[in-house]
């Protein structure tokens, strides 16, 4: 087990000896992983290898699945996320952006302000400031500032995904989880999201699930290769892509399987 450490520890997330079961089926096997503050960590691997299952542990979304059982330890700033941190607090500290944009059926403004309203923020000026700041950080303010009361569904797919990122940012998270955030987008919108990740890493720790090898190599500084529920290799992204230690990693990134 990893010893508890304080917030001066350079690691934001530390995972040790993690196993996850759905009933009798073991989906994750002995996961050991440490992610530093400010890292962009890409999780790569074929479909069904455990990438999305893993990141959903980090904000305890798997708690909603009755058959799910987790052993091992996950620390955030040295605190055990299952024993030391309230799940509501955890989900405010760990934002999530899904594969398909999922704006709420409300205005652009209300989408971004929603979480803070749920936390009890009522002051209109404060909410306006939060919305503007979040949209600017998501590189969307210039495109929507004159139509904040318009329905979010009227935005393009790429704009909707940046809106979802702004909605996450508004909650002032420390970590942003992104589960294939560009897989439903065209190349231009994908490029905008990748540029945005490059800007957001100055302020947030980002964990990105992606099937796109080029995307992982462009935006991340750490890469973990998952296969059949195990982490086969975890290293600096440059090393993983140019000098992999395991032949299975080399076979995957060279397109021999997956």
pLDDT 10s digits, 7-46 = 557 899 999 999 999 999 999 999 999 999 999 999 999 9
pLDDT 10s digits, 230-258 = 999 999 999 999 999 999 999 999 888 76
Dihedral, 227, 65, 102, 106 alpha carbons, nearest 10: -170
* 11 in Cβ contact with 41 (< 8 Å): no
Q: What is the arithmetic mean of pLDDT over 220-228? A: 97
Residue 5 reports pLDDT greater than 50: no
Kindly state the helix (H) or strand (E) to which residue 209 belongs, with its residue range.
strand 205-209
Report the predicted TM-score, pTM, of the whole model to 2 decimal places.
0.92
Q: What is the arithmetic mean of pLDDT over 90-109? A: 95
What is the bridge-based pairing of β-strands 94-97 and 175-179? parallel
pLDDT at 258: 65
Other beta carbons within 10 Å of 221: 15
pLDDT 10s digits, 62-75 = 988 999 999 999 99
Q: Cα–Cα distance between 217 and 213 in angstroms, integer?
A: 6
pLDDT 10s digits, 133-186 = 999 999 999 999 999 999 999 999 999 999 999 999 999 999 999 999 999 899
* 93 in Cβ contact with 173 (< 8 Å): yes
Residue 2 reports pLDDT greater than 50: no
Residue 90 reports pLDDT greater than 80: yes
pLDDT at 33: 96
Q: Cα–Cα distance between 231 and 77 in angstroms, integer?
A: 22
Q: Cα–Cα distance between 258 and 229 in angstroms, integer?
A: 14
Residue 83 reports pLDDT greater than 70: yes
pLDDT at 9: 73
pLDDT at 8: 58
Percent of the chain with pLDDT over 70: 97
pLDDT 10s digits, 184-215 = 899 999 999 999 999 999 999 999 999 999 99
| Longest CA pairwise span in the chain (Å) | 57
Residue 3 reports pLDDT greater than 70: no
Taking the CA atoms of 203, 205, 209 and 214 in sequence, report the sign of the dihedral they define: positive
């Amino acid at each position: 087990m990893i010893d508890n450490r304080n917030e001066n520890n350079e690691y934001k997330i530390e995972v040790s000896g993690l196993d996850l079961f759905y009933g009798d089926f073991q989906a994750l096997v002995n996961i050991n992983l440490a992610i530093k503050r400010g890292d962009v960590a890409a999780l790569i691997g074929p479909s069904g290898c455990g990438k999305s299952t893993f990141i959903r542990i980090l904000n305890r979304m798997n708690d909603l699945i009755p058959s799910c059982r987790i052993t091992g330890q996950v620390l955030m700033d040295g605190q055990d996320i299952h024993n030391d941190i309230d799940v509501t607090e955890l989900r405010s500290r760990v934002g999530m952006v899904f594969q398909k944009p999922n704006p709420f059926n409300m205005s652009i403004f209300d989408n971004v302000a929603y979480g803070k309203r749920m936390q009890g923020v009522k002051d209109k000026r404060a909410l306006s400031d939060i919305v503007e700041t979040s949209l600017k950080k998501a590189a969307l303010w210039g495109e929507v500032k004159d139509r904040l009361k318009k329905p979010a569904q009227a935005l393009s797919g790429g704009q909707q995904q940046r809106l979802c990122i702004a909605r996450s940012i508004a909650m002032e998270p420390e970590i942003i989880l992104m589960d294939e955030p560009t897989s439903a987008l065209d190349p231009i919108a994908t490029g905008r999201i990748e540029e945005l990740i490059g800007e957001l890493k100055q302020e947030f720790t980002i964990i990105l699930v992606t099937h796109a090898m080029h995307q992982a190599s462009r935006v991340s500084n750490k890469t973990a290769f998952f296969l059949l529920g195990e982490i086969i290799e975890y290293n600096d992204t440059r090393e993983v892509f140019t000098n992999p230690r395991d032949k299975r990693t080399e076979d995957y990134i060279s397109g021999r399987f997956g």
